[in-house]
Structure 1
Amino acid sequence: MSKDMVALLKTAPDEESVEAALAAAGAEVWVSDVGDGGALKISDREGGQVVALVEAPILVQVPGELERLLGPEVAHLEPPIWWVEVHASEEVENAEVPALRFAAELSLRLDGEVWFDDPAYADRAGLRSR
């Protein structure tokens, strides 16, 4: 299982915004690619444990699809929207902190917002809850 969040972006992610989001995740983590699919692995520098997986962006173009998948709180977002899923490990304490910091920075830079399945994540990451 994982602690899930989704960056919902009006602008397509680019290398500069992803690098800034990775920097925002914190100095205590490092990043590596996962195969050829565009996914990224965020790992803890001390123990080397994977704290989060960032999936490759997906362009959502179907009206109503975001609401169907995530609920009425995202109904105001009109496609096209770039969907970037971030899965924080439940096995690593506070793994949601760098994961949510990554997603939040990406959404700040690319005119978006972050959906997450537990409002407590924002408090632990030092961010404003929705």
Structure 2
Amino acid sequence: MSKNMVALLKKPLDEEAVAAAMVAAGPDVHATAIGDGGALQLWDREGGQVVALVEAPILVRVPGELERLLGQEVAHLEPPIWWLEVHASEEVEGSEVPALRFAAELSLRLDGMVWMDDPAYAETAGLRSR
């Protein structure tokens, strides 16, 4: 199982935003590309454990699709929206902190928001909830 969040972004990912998100995730976190490079694993340098999986972004073009999938709180977002899932490991205590910081930095830079399956992650990471 994982702790899930979705960065909903109005602008597409770029290298500068991803680099800033890595810095925001924390000094003890590094990333490796997996598969064809569309997804990332975030690693804890000290423990050598994967703390989060960042999936490749998907462009949502269908009106109403975000609300159907995530609920009323995202109904104000009009497509096109880039959907980027971040899954923090439940096996690593505190993994939601770098995962949410990564997603939050992307949402700040790329004009978006972060949806979380549990708003308590924001408090754990020292960020405001939704």
Under a length normalisation based on structure 2, what TM-score does the superposition of the two structures give? 0.98
**Aligned letter for 1:126?**
G
Query: Per the alignment, do residues 31 and 37 of structure 1 end up closer, same or farther by CA in structure 2, a change over 3 Å counting?
Result: closer
Give distance in 2, aligned partners of 1:12 and 1:21.
Answer: 14
Residues in 2 aligned to 1:115 and 1:27: alpha-carbon distance in whole angstroms: 24
3-state SS, counterpart of residue 13 of structure 1: coil
**Residues 63-114 of structure 1 deviation map (CA, whole Å, 9 limit, x = unaligned):** 0000111111101100000001000000000100000000000000000000
Deviation at 1:47, TM superposition (A): 1.2
Q: Report how many aligned residue pairs link the two structures.
A: 130
Question: 3-state DSSP class of the match of 2:53?
Answer: strand
Tell me the distance in 1 between the aligned counterparts of 2:35 and 2:112.
27
The equivalent of 1:64 in structure 2 is 64
How far has the Cα of 1:28 moved from its partner? 1.1
Match of 1:46 in 2: 46
Give the drift of 1:35.
1.6
The match for 1:21 is 21
- Which segments of 5 or more consecutive residues in structure 1 lack a partner in the other structure? none
**Which residue does 1:117 correspond to in 2?**
117
Letter in 2 for 1:56: A
Q: Which runs of 5+ in 2 are unaligned?
A: none
TM-superposed CA distance for 1:45, in Å, is 0.5
Letter in 1 for 2:63: P
CA offsets 1:12-42 (integer angstroms, 9 cap, x no match)? 0111101100110000111101120510000
SS at match of 2:41: strand
For 1:57 and 1:37, how far apart are their aligned partners in 2?
Answer: 11
Aligned with 1:7: secondary structure? Answer: strand
TM-score by length of 1: 0.98
Q: Give 1:120's aligned amino acid.
A: A
Across the aligned residues of Structure 1 and Structure 2, the Cα RMSD in angstroms comes to: 0.7
Percentage identity across paired residues of the two chains: 79
Matched with 1:91 is: 91
Q: Hey, what's the Cα distance between the residues in 1 that align with 2:22 and 2:62?
A: 29
Taking the aligned partners of 2:35 and 2:13, their CA distance within structure 1 comes to 19
Give the Cα–Cα distance (whole angstroms) in 1 for the partners of residues 65 and 37 of structure 2. Answer: 23
